[in-house]
Amino acid sequence: MHIHVVNPNASAAMTEGIARAAEAAAPAGARVTTTGAAGGPLSIEGPVDGARAVPWMLERIEAAEARGADAPDAHVIACFDDTGLDAARCLARAPVVGIGEAAAHCATLVADRFAVVTSVPEALPVLRGNLARYGLAARCAGLRAAGVPVLDIDVGTPEALAAIRRETAAALTDDGAEAIVLGCAGMATLAADLSEEFGCPVIEGISAGLALAGALAGAGLRTSKRGAYAPPRAKAAP
Amino acid sequence: MHIHVVNPNASAAMTEGIARAAEAAAPAGARVTTTGAAGGPLSIEGPVDGARAVPWMLERIEAAEARGADAPDAHVIACFDDTGLDAARCLARAPVVGIGEAAAHCATLVADRFAVVTSVPEALPVLRGNLARYGLAARCAGLRAAGVPVLDIDVGTPEALAAIRRETAAALTDDGAEAIVLGCAGMATLAADLSEEFGCPVIEGISAGLALAGALAGAGLRTSKRGAYAPPRAKAAP
Amino acid sequence: MHIHVVNPNASAAMTEGIARAAEAAAPAGARVTTTGAAGGPLSIEGPVDGARAVPWMLERIEAAEARGADAPDAHVIACFDDTGLDAARCLARAPVVGIGEAAAHCATLVADRFAVVTSVPEALPVLRGNLARYGLAARCAGLRAAGVPVLDIDVGTPEALAAIRRETAAALTDDGAEAIVLGCAGMATLAADLSEEFGCPVIEGISAGLALAGALAGAGLRTSKRGAYAPPRAKAAP
Amino acid sequence: MHIHVVNPNASAAMTEGIARAAEAAAPAGARVTTTGAAGGPLSIEGPVDGARAVPWMLERIEAAEARGADAPDAHVIACFDDTGLDAARCLARAPVVGIGEAAAHCATLVADRFAVVTSVPEALPVLRGNLARYGLAARCAGLRAAGVPVLDIDVGTPEALAAIRRETAAALTDDGAEAIVLGCAGMATLAADLSEEFGCPVIEGISAGLALAGALAGAGLRTSKRGAYAPPRAKAAP
Amino acid sequence: MHIHVVNPNASAAMTEGIARAAEAAAPAGARVTTTGAAGGPLSIEGPVDGARAVPWMLERIEAAEARGADAPDAHVIACFDDTGLDAARCLARAPVVGIGEAAAHCATLVADRFAVVTSVPEALPVLRGNLARYGLAARCAGLRAAGVPVLDIDVGTPEALAAIRRETAAALTDDGAEAIVLGCAGMATLAADLSEEFGCPVIEGISAGLALAGALAGAGLRTSKRGAYAPPRAKAAP
Amino acid sequence: MHIHVVNPNASAAMTEGIARAAEAAAPAGARVTTTGAAGGPLSIEGPVDGARAVPWMLERIEAAEARGADAPDAHVIACFDDTGLDAARCLARAPVVGIGEAAAHCATLVADRFAVVTSVPEALPVLRGNLARYGLAARCAGLRAAGVPVLDIDVGTPEALAAIRRETAAALTDDGAEAIVLGCAGMATLAADLSEEFGCPVIEGISAGLALAGALAGAGLRTSKRGAYAPPRAKAAP
């Protein structure tokens, strides 16, 4: 099984980190290739960045699909916003999974209600809209931002860790969440420790995305080409 | 008042047609400028075309906003899919209205339930998703495709007209719709005749979009810069 | 263009104030006439007042519609409860817009989520029910009452202003609202100052109502006479 | 126990019929008094009739509540539109039940999904809106109009009966309904025969309304005076 | 009229208490018989207890239905979780009412929004799920646990009473509830005092359940045998 | 990785068939053990059968969890009704997946809207309720019964196959489904052929269930023990 992970952010450092995490999380028997957007914004922090990143990411999906016998059995979009998910599905025969939706679906299978803890408040509206579209909003007990920039999370400053733990505790106690979804790729390495400290599932997207991509591919499923995800029509040259 | 209409499709002929329609529909006292995407797909027929068109459209929004004293008081996105609406709002201080949402909002103000009649079935999933997000899905009695390509609608073949009238009649009789939204820019010129023939409001997007853009600008409103539509953060060079 | 504003409250002083505000907010090229209910309660503060006011308001709608060439191109119901909106639409060929729904629709076009700040808690259940019916409840981040009587707001006591500013701040900070709808006609004059102070759209109903009424009339739309807003059947005398 | 049934229609003949049906349906140990609106439209067929009838009906509620020791233990509004229900609750200490809501609540207690069969299509929008507000819309498998005027139903013409049976059959077979709510007072006498013929619950509003009014009164419940149903504030004279 | 109350908990002491309360709450003219599960868990505190109790409760429903002329006219399931409600309806010709759903339905007839106050937080997820299924979740302003074990409530310790009153006050003030549903059988005896103290309806399930069961039986209704509540098919022996 | 599949139906033949299918669908590196309910109904066809089967199934879950080092890493409930899912989660530390929910979640990852095709109409209400609870109802374009008994499906009579193909075609054409979920274990062997014939994803529960169970276990997730799925409290002996 071959799983293609695409990072829609143009940062090569971020792509390397994602590659390492994806390989560590690969399902048994799966081979992972990771690519990053060749252009577009270094990091995706809202709808404008997302819009500018998607065409570059779609190139990676198309290129991977064109590899013939080496085409992937599944794609994972490694951005918690699930940036460009619908367009990617139109271009892919293989299943495409966003790490945001993967984490949310997994959460509803191990808990009745979950909360999302992410980095900054600007990230919340996109996540809220996505959950509504997936149908999982009613299962979400709270959307919380730790109020710390992504960089501080990556570095792991004590203040950042304290803020994430504070919001995790509040989600469990005040919102009634039974599981936590970490809504920021940089938090992935914290999942195991937080799960042990708080005694509940703490789910990060790369693991969940690789797991669901492997599940769909393993079950022999491919993206439907009827309706919403039909391939784009050919265009005349401009 | 200055209203900027942007066509995210790269077809110059389409942009000219939209410019004429927009000028005819301009609110009293409003001046209209129309621009088209400089690159991207000639026509938007699904999520992939949309994703590839948005960066070009955002350039037009940014350029218009940068015109200082001549910056627009409102923007209209002239594509029934409301392509790139969120990202455009992040870049604009002035209000931004998509013609699809404009038609749907207007419909709910003159009828309890409306139906959308569009060109091809592939268009339906995006429209369905948009209505759900706007909160107007429960007011939509039906989404119908006439099953005729956009080109045939533009040319006005008898078969295309017959199919549009058949779906309009079915929407009123079978779905219980009380007003019709024409979900395809090429149908705009049919609105008046259909309204008279069927004795009910028939709403097309360019008129509705210009009207709502003028209303928001006339009321002195600007896009909120808090939360969902905050401007994008500056990025380091790649 | 002729826009008819009807005040369902029987207070002549309130009608005069509404007339002034409506004329100030009239769209370019629009003429405004304002009428008030000839009987019924002086002010509408709940369902019983509303029920008793509606027949008087409907007389004004009917009289305006009967003016032949001088019949209005649109009606505005100048009560934030949107009192009698459905019945008014049944009697009018022209579009009818309630100022409560107008403000809410406008808010969703310039912000992802808005909050309503109104006078007294008794007003909240009607507003909550209206938003649910319009489909805009999911876009409403909070409904807040300042806890000050309408009269104190009209007079502009310091305590009233402080309470309104306190709830506005809380709506933005605690509820995550991105725009504010002022849910009480007496707050209309505060909109501009609050918008500047809090740096976000602050929307009051008279402006929004006039703007949307002008938009619908300008786009040539009329109330559907199919289904929900069909004219009442003639009755035998009792 | 004293149950007050109020007919918001001004037709004395209709009030007499309702009084007979209500007495026949009275819970064990309950005494029924029936009153009719002293003015307003003879019959309620849409929002305008409803708006004009409500003030007259509220007089009856107020008068009944003012009877001291003889004040009712519950009120029933004998119109399937549940006309003026909120306003009536504001004026009453005793519980108030509309026959439309009563039938729908009962249906959800004996079937997973029900359908409504009513007289004319114009009646459907109000019923649809009411069910949405009560929260029972998702339990409603279909809203069907037999397409026969109320008068023909009252007289019991063969065509009317055939149309009602045809829609009942379609609701069970095509919509998957498991119980039928008869959405028109004139159909009440048909309930028992239809239930036997189709082998499923067929619920009419007068019986359901009397039953629920008796249940609430028997359980010692009274309408809450907090929030939505607070009594109206006193007004200065105009 | 004969109403059968079944206690799915195996505790004989609890069954006796329920029998007393049910007889006190019986509608005029109704005879009550109360049975308890012959096996299964002594008390139902979550899904596992519920699952283990249901087969025993179903035996009681079947036995009661088999009594021929003495078969009940309605059944009441005396557990606030409405344990086994669907299965019980499949076995019964007579209507079946759960005390949890009964209290919630009654609450929506005397208040716009209600809150539930129950014993321990573990009880909340089942209640939340039930309200969603009944369609009444949008009418529920809050679900609160007093944090006191059922036994302490039964004994009536001062701490338990204080906690219940604290949550009741918070539901009215902070959640905007207009009526209170007591979500624990042991709180039933507190309803009258709390209602007087807080000046609003306080609804407990045994009274509400008996009242609605009597209402349905009095209106001659029986459980639909079409669709969801069809009787189980006969099985071959294993 | 060890996946435990439990058949809540008491039929040994069915358990054997499920064991074969589960082993064929096992994720790479996973070992499968399959158990069947030791008592209860031979087949589950509605809520009563389900209620009677669950205690026996829970014994199997408990026994598997008690196996110490050989305890499963995940459980799969091999009944499309997801019978006893909540109770099973309360007893298990490992994740528990129902095959009905697994198929529906997978469908939403490869198509915008799916339809369910099952055996008999009696099966539809439970499936409809489950989808609503999971939040996936809005993604379901249709629920269809082929109208053929499970036995005929198992034997593969030509009439049964024709009926299944007819409903599949109708779901795609009339309902606008983009993928098909086969809502009956006996249809599992048809999935590959139907997928090829209709050119879209056709998903059966055993494959989907094994795949998701493997995904959750592979990602190191366990069922939350906070809130809804807390273990049952110990009880005194009766």
In whole numbers, what is the pLDDT of chain F averaged over residues? 94
Count the Cβ atoms, other than its own, within 10 Å of residue C38: 12
Q: Report the C-alpha gap between C220 and B27 in whole angstroms.
A: 11
Q: At residue C26, does pLDDT exceed 90?
A: yes
B125/F contact by beta carbon, under 8 A: yes
The residue ranges of chain A whose pLDDT is under 70 are: 236-238
Instruction: Report the pLDDT value the prediction gives residue E121, as an integer from 0 to 100.
Output: 87
- CB count within 10 Å of CB F19 equals 18
Chain A nearest CA to C176, separation (Å): 9
Q: Which of residues 135-194 of A touch B (CB under 8 A)?
A: none
Q: Tell me the CB-side half-sphere exposure of residue F175, using CA atoms within 13 A.
A: 24
Report the DSSP beta bridge partners of residue A143: A116
pLDDT at A122: 82
Asked if residues C184 and C119 have their Cβ atoms less than 8 Å apart, the reply is: yes
In sequence order, the 6+-apart residues with CB closer than 8 A to the CB of A165 are: A194, A197
Averaged over D185-190, what is the pLDDT? 86
Contact C36, C56 (CB under 8 A): no
Shortest distance, CA C216 to any CA of chain B (angstroms)? 7
Average pLDDT over residues B8-22: 94
Q: Taking residues B199-219, report their average pLDDT.
A: 98
**Residues of chain E with C-beta less than 8 angstroms from the C-beta of C125:** 112-113
Q: Which residue has the tokens 């064990």?
A: D28
The candidate with the shortest Cα–Cα distance to B8, out of B82, B73, B109, B118, is: B82
Q: Which segments within chain E are labelled E, that is strand?
A: 2-7, 31-36, 74-77, 96-98, 114-118, 140-145, 179-182, 202-204
Q: Do residues C91 and C54 touch, judged by C-beta distance below 8 A?
A: no
Please give the average per-residue pLDDT across B178-201, as a whole number: 94
Provide mean pLDDT across the span B76-83. Answer: 96
Report d(CA C104, CA B135) in Å as an integer: 12
Q: CATH assignment of A2-98+208-229, given 1.10.230.10, 3.60.15.10, 3.40.50.12500, 3.40.605.10?
A: 3.40.50.12500
pLDDT digit string, tens, across residues D196-216: 999 999 999 999 999 999 999
Query: CA-to-CA distance for E213 and E217, rounded, in angstroms?
Result: 6
Which residues fall within 8 angstroms of residue B69, CB to CB, at 6 or more apart?
Answer: none
B237 Cα to chain C: minimum distance (Å): 30
Query: What backbone torsions phi and psi does residue E199 show, to the nearest 5 degrees?
Result: 65, 40
Per-residue confidence (pLDDT) for residue F237, from 0 to 100: 60
Rounded to whole angstroms, the Cα distance separating D210 from D75 reads 9
List the domain boundaries for chain A.
Answer: 2-98+208-229, 100-204
> How many Cα atoms occupy the beta-carbon half-sphere of A136 within 13 Å?
28
Per-residue pLDDT reduced to its tens digit, F182-236: 998 788 889 999 999 999 999 999 999 999 999 999 999 999 999 999 999 887 6
Separation of alpha carbons C174 and C187, rounded Å:
22
Mean pLDDT of B38-55: 94
Q: Are F112 and B125 within 8 A, CB to CB? A: yes
With CB atoms and an 8 Å threshold, state whether C203 touches B219: yes
Residues in chain D within 8 Å Cβ distance of B113: 125
Mean of pLDDT values over D14-39? 95
Confidence at residue B122, expressed as pLDDT on a 0 to 100 scale: 82
Q: What is the average pLDDT value for chain C, to the nearest integer?
A: 94
Site of tokens 């050919």: A234
Six token digits for residue A29: 């028997």
Task: Provide the residue type at D236 as one letter.
Answer: A
pLDDT per position as a tens digit, D121-147 = 888 999 999 999 999 999 999 999 999
**One-character DSSP codes across chain B:** -EEEEEE-S--HHHHHHHHHHHHHHPPTT-EEEEEE-SSS-SS--SHHHHHHHHHHHHHHHHHHHTTGGG--SEEEE-STT-TTHHHHHHH-SS-EEEHHHHHHHHHHHH-SSEEEEES-GGGHHHHHHHHHHHT-GGGEEEEEE----HHHHHHT-HHHHHHHHHHHHHHHHTS--SEEEE-SGGGGGGHHHHHHHHTS-EEEHHHHHHHHHHHHHHTT-----SGGGPPPPP----
CATH topology of domain A100-204: Rossmann fold (3.40.50)
CATH number at F2-99+208-229? 3.40.50.12500
Query: Among F86, F87, F65, which Cα is nearest to F75's?
Result: F65
Is residue B83 within 8 A of residue B45, CB to CB? The reply is no
For residue E183 the two structure tokens come to 């979500």
Query: What are the chain D neighbours of E196 within 8 Å (beta carbons)?
Result: none
Burial of F155 (0-12, 13-18, 19+ CB in 10 A): exposed
Report, as an integer, the average pLDDT of C230-238.
Answer: 79
Which residues of D fall within a CB distance of 8 Å from E168? Answer: none
CB within 8 Å of A230: residues ≥ 6 apart: A90, B46, B122
* Domains D2-98+208-229 and D100-204 fall in the same CATH topology: yes
Cα radius of gyration (chain E): 17
Give F140's strand partners.
F114
Q: What is the per-residue pLDDT for B3?
A: 98
Query: Amino acid identity, residue D50?
Result: G
Residues of chain E with pLDDT under 50: none
Q: Is F7 helix (H, G, I), strand (E, B) or coil?
A: strand
CA angle C41/C137/D125 to nearest 5° reads 70
Interface of D with C in 21-40 (CB under 8 A): 39
Chains E and B lie in contact, requiring 3 or more CB pairs less than 8 Å apart: no
**Alpha-carbon distance F132 to nearest alpha carbon in chain E (angstroms):** 8
Q: How many CB atoms lie within 10 A of CB B165?
A: 17
Q: Which residues of C touch D49 (CB under 8 A)?
A: 232, 235
User: In angstroms, what CA-CA distances link A199 with A104, A140, A195, C31?
Assistant: 19, 19, 5, 67
Please tell me the distance from the alpha carbon of residue A46 to that of residue A79, in angstroms, as a whole number.
Answer: 11
Distances (CA, A) of E235 to F55, F123, F150: 18, 16, 13
Q: What is the mean pLDDT of chain D?
A: 94
pLDDT at residue number B109: 98
> What does the alpha-carbon distance between residue A189 and residue A207 come to, in Å, rounded to a whole number?
11
Domain E2-98+208-227 in this protein, CATH class:
alpha beta
Q: Are E186 and E150 in contact (CB under 8 A)?
A: yes
pLDDT at D198: 98
pLDDT over threshold 80, residue D150: no
SS percent in chain D: helix, strand, coil, step 5: 50, 15, 30
Bridge-partner residues for A97, per DSSP?
A: A76
Output DSSP code: residue F200: S
Which of C97, C201, C219 minimises the CB distance to B221?
C201
Closest among F184, F209, F203 to F44, alpha carbons compared: F184
On the question of pLDDT at F154 being above 90, the answer is no
- F125 vs D138: CB contact, 8 Å cut-off? no
Cα gap F205→F209, rounded to integer Å:
6
Say if residue D237's pLDDT is above 70.
Answer: no
Cβ contact B221–C200 (<8 Å): no
In A, minimum Cα distance to E126 occurs at A112
Q: Average pLDDT for residues B102-125, to the nearest whole number? A: 95
Closest by CA to D219, choosing from A65, E99, B85, A7, is: E99
> What per-residue confidence (pLDDT) applies to A120?
87
Residue B102's φ and ψ, nearest 5 degrees, are -60, -45
Cβ-based neighbours of B46, under 8 Å, separated by 6 or more: A90, A230, A232, A233, B122, B126
Q: What is the mean pLDDT of residues F35-41?
A: 94
Residue E5 identity: V
Q: Name the band, by pLDDT with cuts 50, 70 and 90, for residue B238.
A: low
Q: Where are the alpha helices (DSSP H) in F25-98?
A: 47-65, 85-91
β-strands F114-118, F74-77: how paired? Answer: unpaired
Q: Which two tokens stand for residue D81?
A: 């539109």
**Nearest CA among C103, C100, C66, C63 for reference residue C84:** C100
CA C131, CA C139: separation in Å to the nearest integer?
9
pLDDT beyond 90 at B155: no
Chains in contact with chain C (at least 3 beta-carbon pairs closer than 8 A): A, B, D, E
CA distances for F146 relative to C133, E48, E210, angstroms: 37, 34, 41
Check residue C237 and give its pLDDT. 60
Confidence at F238, pLDDT banded by 50, 70, 90: low
Check: CB of residue B146 under 8 Å from CB of residue B187. Answer: no
Q: CA A148, CA A131: separation in Å to the nearest integer?
A: 22
- Using alpha carbons, select from F218, F223, F222, F219 the residue that is nearest to residue F1: F218
Residues with Cβ within 8 Å of A234's Cβ and at least 6 positions away in sequence, in order, are none
CA distances from residue E136 to E89, E106, E202, E211 in whole angstroms, order as listed: 20, 11, 17, 19
Confidence of residue D217 (pLDDT cuts 50, 70, 90): very high
Q: Is the pLDDT assigned to residue B78 strictly greater than 70?
A: yes
Encoded tokens for A173? 């106690």
Place of tokens 């369910």: F116
If one counts every other C-beta atom within 10 angstroms of the C-beta of residue F3, the result is 27
